[in-house]
Amino acid sequence: MSVKSFSPQLNSSEETIESTLRPQKWSNYVGQERIKKNLKIIIGAAKKRNDSPDHLLFYGGAGLGKTTLAYLIAKEAEGNIRTIAAPIIEKPGDLVALLTSLSEGDFLFIDECHRLNKQVEEYLYSAMEDFKLSLILGKGPMAKTLDLTLPRFTLIGATTKLDMLSSPLRGRFGAIFQLNFYEPSEIEEIIRRSAKILNIEINDDAAKELSKRSRFTPRIANKLLKRVRDFAQMENKNIITKKIVIDSLSFLEVDELGLEVGDIKILEAIIHKFEGGPVGLQALSSATSEEKNTILDVYEPYLIQLGLIKRTSKGRVATKVAYEHLKIDI
């Protein structure tokens, strides 16, 4: 299988490391067991029919493994995969060039597909459903329609905002899967695997401590592992211990629950400026100087997962757990 990308290249060693840490086979992909079982059935059945799998859509928070699943699917189905972020497809001509470059059995992975241009999206409907494109050439009475037949391909979409996908687009996916936060034990397993790939020794207590601060998210676990590795190397330590994890992440202002400066700022604003809430999103955004979408997509899901805030019909409310964690009297 070859892997090709239409996305801008990130010319950095970090990109190489991320690619190295990405699982290359199902047995190395930790977590999301229900989704993996379903995908194996979909791919296996398509192979028996000598057909391409149905179009697939993954949704969930950033860093939960949507892109990795897309690569594993293509590898399992023995097809090429091409990747692109939706905002890069600016006009229908970009989509036409992309689709006509595909071969039979190829996979097209579109990340952030909720950000597709609406005009581009409309061209995608017939491509997904009938594997055809109808192009209008020219203008006015001289305009002509050109029908193009496309090779059978599988579109894999990924989004963090399922509600922003139009119903017509959503309805053309054969299967839709939600990726959830990972269990701490799964994050520990990912950390140990990544440490081995990075040629770092880490003991069990350190892996457990790092897992607690990784926000139940593999991408964050790997990011923190690399930063802890840096600290260990600067101190000439050959093994990452719990103490090194605590010291390095404290320096990076990541607390024992994985909360960062932004999370604390939001909690303290709700408690101190709005007397614990409820507070609306707009008011909270103004009080913290954080964009509304950043609060919704980056901070809030984890704070809710930990039970530090809850959403009510009137707005966000800080819970007793939040007061206790920040050591603030109710």
Q: Which residues are catalytic?
A: 66-67, 111, 160, 219
Q: How many residues does the chain have?
A: 330
The owner of tokens 């926000």 is 215
What is the spatial distance between Cα 110 and Cα 92, in angstroms, rounded to a whole number? 15
What is the spatial distance between Cα 299 and Cα 163, in angstroms, rounded to a whole number? 18
The token duo for 44 is 């296996």
Task: Give the side-chain half-sphere CA count within 13 A for 162.
Answer: 12
Q: Between helices 13-21 and 184-197, what is the axis angle to 10°?
A: 120
DSSP codes, 114-183: GG--HHHHHHHHHHHHHSEEEEEESSGGG-EEEEEEPPP-EEEEEES-GGGS-HHHHTT-SEEEE--PPP
